[in-house]
């Protein structure tokens, strides 16, 4: 009984180590360009061990993306729950991304090439953000533009900066460098929308 329990625990530890190692390598090298043998070597296991835990490369990628997208979504909920203004919510969103920025950026760039299960996980993160975004808009009475359009504008702005991070922040840390710029620019557009086109 003890031998079986120990063996099972070792198996679970190995799987967790593979997921963590894959996350680190995906963040650095990209998802599609990473070979399973690279992950196995970094985790100090044989190539075959990877496929004892994951049937295919696509299944492995999907599980890694699902796990960390879940972490990002939970962190977003945690940071956004106490926000009372749209500005606070946008700031919380960026703080949540910043903790996983290299990996999240890879998802932004490569999401259309990911397995369907991985893409679905990435969409779940957007849904978590959209929920808090819509609540913040409602609190501030912003309704002249559909919430979905405003959300897509915000995400497009953030994702554009992340996907071109080599231009905006060659040293890394796009969010840390442009957090205030992104939030202030987006909010200023909303302020202009609130004002009448003419004073007469």
**Which residues have C-beta within 8 Å of that of residue 21, sequence separation ≥ 6?**
39, 42, 43
Question: Is-above-0.95 flag for pTM?
Answer: no
Most distant CA pair in the chain: distance in Å?
84
112, 163 contact by CB (below 8 A): no
Tens of pLDDT, residue by residue, the chain (200 residues): 455 688 888 888 999 999 999 999 999 999 999 999 999 999 999 988 998 899 899 999 999 999 999 999 999 999 998 898 999 999 999 999 999 999 999 999 999 999 999 999 999 999 999 999 999 999 988 888 899 999 999 999 999 999 999 999 999 899 999 999 999 999 999 886 555 444 44
Q: Which two tokens stand for residue 32?
A: 């599609």
User: What are the structural domains of the chain?
Assistant: 1-54 (1.10.10.60), 58-194 (1.10.357)
4 vs 20: CA distance, rounded Å:
24
- Give the integer Cα–Cα distance in Å for 15 and 77: 27
Percent composition of the chain: helix, strand, coil (DSSP 3-state, to 5): 80, 0, 20
């Amino acid at each position: 009984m003890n031998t079986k329990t120990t063996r099972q625990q070792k198996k679970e530890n190995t799987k967790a180590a593979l997921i963590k190692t894959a996350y680190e390598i995906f963040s650095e090298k990209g998802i599609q360009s990473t070979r399973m043998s690279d992950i196995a070597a970094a985790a100090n296991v044989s190539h075959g061990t990877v496929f004892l835990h994951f049937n295919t490369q696509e299944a492995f990628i999907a599980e890694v993306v699902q796990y960390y997208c879940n972490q990002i979504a939970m962190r977003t909920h945690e940071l956004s729950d106490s926000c009372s203004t749209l500005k606070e919510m946008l700031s919380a969103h960026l703080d949540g991304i910043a903790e996983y920025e290299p990996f999240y950026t890879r998802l932004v760039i490569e999401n259309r090439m990911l397995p369907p299960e991985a893409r679905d996980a990435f969409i779940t993160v957007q849904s978590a953000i959209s929920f808090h975004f819509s609540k913040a808009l409602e609190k501030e009475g912003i309704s002249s533009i559909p919430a979905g359009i405003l959300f897509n504008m915000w995400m497009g702005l953030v994702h554009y900066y992340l996907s071109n991070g080599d231009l905006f922040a060659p040293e890394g840390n796009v969010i840390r460098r442009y957090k205030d710029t992104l939030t202030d620019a987006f909010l200023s557009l909303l302020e202009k929308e609130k004002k009448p086109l003419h004073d007469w």
